[in-house]
Amino acid sequence: MPPERPLGSVIQGSLSQGIEVRLHADVSVEEMRVGKFLVVQGVRSRFFCMLTDVTLGTASSRILANPPDPANTFLQEVLSGSGIYGTIELTPMLMINQEKPQRAERDFPQVAPSTRPNSAAEIELLPVKTIPSHFSQVYDASDRDFRAVFGWEDDPHRRNFAIGQPIDMDVPICLDLDRFVERSNGIFGKSGTGKSFLTRLLLSGIIRKGAAVNLIFDMHSEYGWEAACEGKQFSTVKGLRQLFPGQVQVFTLDPESTRRRGVRDAQELSISFDQIEVEDLLLVRGELNLSEASLENAIILRNEFGKAWITRLLAMTNEEIQEFCETRMGSKSSIMALQRKLNRLSDLKYIRQTSTRNPVGQVLETLEAGQHVVVEFGSQSNLLSYMLATNIIARRIHHAYVLKAERFLQTKNVSDRPRPLVITIEEAHRFLDPATVGQTIFGVIAREMRKYFVTLLVVDQRPSGIDNEVMSQIGTRITALLNDEKDIDAIFTGVSGGQSLRSVLAKLDSKQQALILGHATPMPVVVRTRPYDEAFYAAIADTDWETQPTPVVLAAAQAARHDLGI
């Protein structure tokens, strides 16, 4: 049943433009906020709606020409609700059909009767194909409405994860993680809006619920062991390794930096020259200032020397380059420029001339074992280093998953089914912009969606820099505050009814609020995101983090062992 207090009546509207509601005289327009959820009780269905605009109206222009004196509260009360009134614009999101018989309460023993949600057998969540009739009454959405639409976290039949709450209510908003990992997803927002905190929330949920395995390219070392918080006083938050010590492994491209921060048990990750392909150089051509001629000659060298072409090039003298160009029709000046610029790669700490080990293979084995991997960059977090390493590692991981997926399609054996893999990348527009998206493995993954059980979680403050085709493939978009019009337009690429949500996005707070829309949620929703604090740790962690030694203690212990030669 709807709540007792009606807020207003439907007076006009359309399916395409939304519904206009006139507030009742006893309802203050100040109670209505953009992003709030309301329910319109129709004859056959309830319409779950989002408030997108608030306006003031008058019955006569004479009132505007001669407004009452501010001190004359009696006249203001007389006019309220008749001569002056408030109206709100609603966008219907779902139709709730509740004509099926209800199940017994024993089907929901874990939820209190007053807030027990309806099951899928009791209600139907339908796309909006019509609108309620004139004078239909509007009510605040209840806890039961929210639980019917968004589910609850303890649902035994779904991997739901509570990401936050509605702005004006204390009821969880859940994401369906099985649907979330089916497609590539994005977390967007301008700098300082808490994208890293949102990412840690989601990754923690995926790990706790076992929805997928994660490969996280941690550009700023924020997800592995711990990260600093913004604020007047310095504080830190727990990383995934602290929360899930038995399920998360840390690999590092800069072991010295990792040890200084007190991260224990991190495994060193290196890349050799024979693992770098011409396609990887295409991605970083801007950072290396490579010309088209240099890249064309790189292909000639690769065809001649195979995987060892970079090692051979860096060792060649001017005379050898001259001889090579005479016999292979290369350009001496371009090859010499390529040699000079590729020497910059030798300065990267994780680059090796040759390697007998296969560190990338270790990452793949860890993922295949069902453990989650955080790749830290430490001091190697400049764009050249980050873009090169992520592309090389992701390309090899994706190739292995393609082979595994093809084997599964052949055998149809459940034991051969690959675990879904979510690859998290920051500064995503560097990999997915229209100029380079064709040269990166991430463009391939974003387009393939779950064909090979690999998807992306892109984290970025400039969604307008991402190729439109890729943005249209993003399944679920979690967006904090954005100011740039181009970025806001990009968020709603391929989203029907996006125009009505623009005002909602523009009015978010700069902290701890986000607009969620897409595949993993039944309708767009504005949430006050879940705090990433001690209460969250206690609810989701695998261990008692309070008993774990701090990074400072760990660093001191490691230094002592080093001094003792242990």
Given 349, 376, 406, the domain boundary residue is 349
Domain presence at residue 559? no
Count of domains forming the chain = 3
The pLDDT value recorded for residue 87 is 92
Q: What's the mean pLDDT in 151-158? A: 85
CATH of the domain at 240: 3.40.50.300
Given 314, 349, 384, the domain boundary residue is 349
Domain presence at residue 158? no
Residues 83, 132 share a domain: yes
Given 92, 116, 150, the domain boundary residue is 150
Mean pLDDT of the chain: 83
Q: Is the pLDDT of residue 17 over 90?
A: no
Domain presence at residue 160? no
Residues 309, 198 share a domain: no
Residues 191, 105 share a domain: no
**Residue 480 DSSP SS3:** coil
Domain presence at residue 238? yes
Q: Is the pLDDT of residue 136 over 50?
A: yes
Range of lowest pLDDT (60-69, 102-111, 165-174): 102-111
Domain presence at residue 265? yes
pLDDT tens digits, residue range 65-117? 778 777 777 677 767 767 788 899 999 988 887 554 343 333 444 444 344 44
Torsional class of 207: left (φ above 0), alpha (ψ -120 to 50), beta (otherwise): alpha
Count other Cβ atoms within 10 Å, centred on residue 80. 14
Q: What's the mean pLDDT in 531-541? A: 89
Beta 8-14 vs 525-529: how paired, if at all? unpaired
* Furthest C-alpha separation in the chain: 99
Beta bridge partners of 94: 48
Residues 253, 190 share a domain: yes
User: Is-contact 278 299, C-beta < 8 A?
Assistant: yes
- This prediction has a pTM of 0.81
Residues 539, 506 share a domain: yes
Domain presence at residue 2? no
Greater model confidence, 506 or 488: 488
Report CA torsion sign: 541, 547, 553, 557: negative
pLDDT more than 70, % of the chain? 88
Residues 190, 297 share a domain: no
Distance of CA 84 to the CA centre of its chain: 44
Residues 444, 374 share a domain: yes
The pLDDT value recorded for residue 98 is 58
Which is nearest to 215 in space by CA: 370, 352, 349? 370
Residues 180, 209 share a domain: yes
Q: Is the pLDDT of residue 558 over 60?
A: no
The pLDDT value recorded for residue 213 is 95
- The whole-angstrom separation of Cα 116 and Cα 118 is 7
Residues 313, 249 share a domain: no
The parent domain of residue 519 ranges over: 176-270+357-552
User: Is-contact 91 497, C-beta < 8 A?
Assistant: yes
Residues 301, 230 share a domain: no
Residues 264, 336 share a domain: no
Q: Is the pLDDT of residue 557 over 70?
A: no
- The whole-angstrom separation of Cα 55 and Cα 48 is 21
The pLDDT value recorded for residue 123 is 64
Residues 302, 266 share a domain: no
Beta 124-126 vs 18-23: how paired, if at all? unpaired
The pLDDT value recorded for residue 193 is 85
